[in-house]
Each structure stands twice: as C-alpha cells, then as structure tokens.
C-alpha cells in the first residue's frame, strides 16, 4: 500500500511514515536559496503578493527589487508552471536575512509582524510535501526528499513527529479542518494495522 486516499486527496505513504521538523538553526533556510526554480504559486497568490509588495520590498535586497521591477514576482518554469522569481538563478526574490545570517521569507516575516495579511505561498508553507492538482478534481500529495533537509529529518525523528503532524496548520489551510481530522483518523488506522 503506497497510496492512501483521504477524501479526494491521494497521499503517498511517506506523508505518514516520514518524520520531519524544520531546524532553521542548522539549515539556515537553505530551501529558499537552493534548487533550480522558484516556489510554485497560484494566480491568487500572485495577486496577493503583488498587493503586499509595497509593504515588503524594503526587506528585500537591491538585486531582488531589480528582478521584480524587470521580470515581475513570478516567471514560468520549463514545465510551464508559475514560480517565484529568482535572484541570480538561486535565491527566491522574497528572501531576507536575520542578524545571524539565517534566510527568512520576507512575506512570512511581514505577516508575523502584522504588516500584511498575505501568507507565503502554500507550496513553501507545505514543504517538504508537494501538491499536484489534476483536472479530474483529484489532488496528489507526495513527500519530497532533499539533502538540505537532513537536519529536519533528524530532528523529526528525535521528536517522533510525523511530517503530516508537523504540517498540520498548512494542511488544514489547504484542505480544511474536517479533512485534516479525517487524515488523523486514517493515520490512527494505519498505525493500528502496523502499516506506519
């Protein structure tokens, strides 16, 4: 059993089995500056980010502001998906750094400080889970492995925290509280059956 269905969402078994808890003190926000493309975004998220831009652009680097001014907040990746723009083909344009050199999301920082109500893109908030929506109405959720998140896996293992529990808030935002309760019930059944 590799795929588990909860409502109209198909989840890989790794969404239940894998342990995960971000450890910014170790990784220093590497997921915002590594990789080969920006974060996937929806049209609604793009509009919200553009509306919030005047409040967050002061937190961005001069290079990021230049990229946004010339290219915009997003571009189409090779697969045709809309993703956040990058600085130098690496850093997300919305990266900013704290006094210790840890990479943060300027959108998330401004939201936490109460300057904006816009949330960072759901694809960022849900990481390491990746969501793919199909025209049929089915949604697939898969666990993504990335070497830079090794410390998060180690911390999650130490805390015995399954990735779906670590991501309760964004999963609830994405699929609803009722769906998340069904997800927890499914996890309990899988645990009782010795599958996870």
For the record, the structure tokens of 192 come out as 């009782």
Residue 139: closest CA among 8, 2, 6, 39: 8
pLDDT in tens, 106-157: 999 999 999 999 889 999 999 999 998 888 888 999 999 999 999 999 999 9
User: What is the pLDDT, as a whole number, of residue 25?
Assistant: 86
pLDDT values of the chain reduced to their tens digit, one per residue, 196 residues: 599 999 999 999 999 999 999 998 898 888 888 877 889 999 999 999 999 999 999 999 999 999 999 999 999 988 888 999 999 988 999 999 888 888 889 999 999 999 999 889 999 999 999 998 888 888 999 999 999 999 999 999 999 999 999 999 999 999 999 999 999 999 999 999 999 9
| Residue 99: half-sphere exposure toward Cβ, Cα within 13 Å | 0
User: What is the pLDDT, as a whole number, of residue 184?
Assistant: 98
User: What is the pLDDT, as a whole number, of residue 36?
Assistant: 76
Q: Where are the beta strands (DSSP E) in the chain?
A: 3-6, 9-12, 74-76, 82-84, 86-87, 91-92, 95-97, 103-105, 129-133, 139-143
For the record, the structure tokens of 127 come out as 């990481």
User: What is the pLDDT, as a whole number, of residue 32?
Assistant: 85
User: What is the pLDDT, as a whole number, of residue 100?
Assistant: 84
């Amino acid at each position: 059993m590799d795929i588990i269905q909860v409502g109209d969402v198909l989840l890989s078994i790794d969404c239940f089995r894998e342990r995960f808890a971000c450890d910014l003190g170790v990784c220093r926000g590497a997921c915002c500056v590594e990789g080969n493309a920006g974060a996937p975004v929806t049209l609604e998220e793009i509009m919200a980010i553009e509306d919030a831009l005047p409040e967050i652009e002061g937190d961005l680097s001069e290079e990021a502001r230049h990229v946004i001014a010339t290219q915009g907040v997003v571009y189409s990746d090779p697969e045709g998906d809309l993703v956040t723009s990058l600085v130098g083909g690496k850093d997300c344009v919305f990266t900013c750094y704290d006094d210790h050199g840890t990479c943060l999301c300027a959108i998330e920082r401004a939201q936490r400080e109460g300057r904006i109500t816009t949330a960072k893109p759901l694809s960022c908030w849900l990481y390491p889970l990746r969501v793919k929506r199909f025209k049929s109405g089915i949604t697939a959720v898969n666990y993504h492995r990335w070497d830079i998140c090794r410390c998060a896996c180690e911390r999650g293992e130490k805390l015995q925290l399954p990735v779906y529990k670590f991501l309760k808030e964004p999963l609830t935002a994405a699929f609803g509280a009722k769906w998340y309760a069904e997800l927890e019930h499914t996890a309990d059944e899988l645990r009782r059956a010795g599958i996870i």
